[in-house]
Structure 1
């Protein structure tokens, strides 16, 4: 099986998820449509080998006090939600987001809402695959809400310089573009009876 064949299930989930998702803002809807256009390339769009851009998954972690956990990205030097590249074995975008959130926060027992809260497209420089040079590309990031269990303690991963809890009115600087746009849909989602 090739790398692209391995990504078929993940690709099919991305197509289905974005096809049914009701965008939380006009900007998110535009990003959703652009991501659907990217997915016309097929399963390769889920991998770093697709140089015009590839789909990634991230999670905004929120605790019972409505604080958000942000990481200071070690390479970018910006505060942002946790997340990153999908792996073919993830099978779904939600599983990829939960895996990334657990790895990068060190918190076990996160509960992930399976419906995205946002989609954002941003330029990055990342390696296409092992042994290939880094270069400009774009992340088509599908973002989810993860709820932190009470009393959980975060642990810094190799990808972060720091982790910190912040309230919506006291966010750190420098802050990555797109973080603020996730807050309103995340907090609205917390008001649903099936959350928290």
Structure 2
């Protein structure tokens, strides 16, 4: 019920709907996910609230070097693999982009990181590890940004490590998961 969902998450849902409505998906898979995320938002007032449905919207960011040939990744503590920065929405987030920026800054240790305001990719994935608790699936709205090669990144409490990787030399499981995101970010930022 809408009355039970904190107002901050209802406002974030409206921002997500507006962003998704205005986004031109680049291919049929992205269009399918765009429609699924919009349908999910229409069905669930708490679609962006971690305590809402077990499938909920999350946000994230891929960070590339200025030459777009390296990607800054986090060794995610719960997932146990190298991934983009991202996570759940918080009540202090004014917009989906603000949440993605906050998550990327927190997890990378780069306080001045700026993300491009355009959605770079959508992604939908199940969470099978018990470490994710009641979260069954994340429906990601992803953005991209650029950080200097010499940026002084830091490892957060949610990560085991943070490191630069060549975009054409990521670990195989990371390439399978993030390769399309990295290539979409290179096209958008290039």
Say yes or no: TM over 0.5. Answer: yes
> 1:176 Cα deviation (Å)?
7.2
Give the structure 2 partner of residue 94 of structure 1: 97
Give the structure 1 partner of residue 31 of structure 2: 29
Give the structure 2 partner of residue 120 of structure 1: 123
Change in Cα spacing, 1:176 to 1:139, as seen in structure 2 (3 Å) is: farther
Give the structure 2 partner of residue 9 of structure 1: 11
d(CA) in 1 for partners of 2:63 and 2:46? 28
Give the structure 2 partner of residue 135 of structure 1: 134
Does the 8 A contact of 2:54 with 2:134 survive in 1? no
d(CA) in 2 for partners of 1:95 and 1:113? 11
- Of 58, 67, 72, the residue aligned with 1:69 is 72
> 1:139 Cα deviation (Å)?
0.5
d(CA) in 2 for partners of 1:46 and 1:15? 11
Give the structure 1 partner of residue 153 of structure 2: 154
- Of 36, 39, 42, the residue aligned with 1:40 is 42
Give the structure 1 partner of residue 20 of structure 2: 18
Does the 8 A contact of 1:24 with 1:185 survive in 2? no
> 1:79 Cα deviation (Å)?
1.1
d(CA) in 1 for partners of 2:5 and 2:134? 20
How far does the alpha carbon of each residue in 1:22-81 deviate from its partner, in whole angstroms, 9 at most, with x for none? Answer: 113322221111111110134301111223411101000111132111111111111110
Q: Secondary structure at the match of 1:55?
A: strand
C-alpha RMSD over aligned residues: 2.1
> 1:146 Cα deviation (Å)?
1.4
Note the residue ranges of structure 2 that are not aligned, 5 or more in a row.
Answer: none
Note the residue ranges of structure 1 that are not aligned, 5 or more in a row.
Answer: 128-132, 192-196
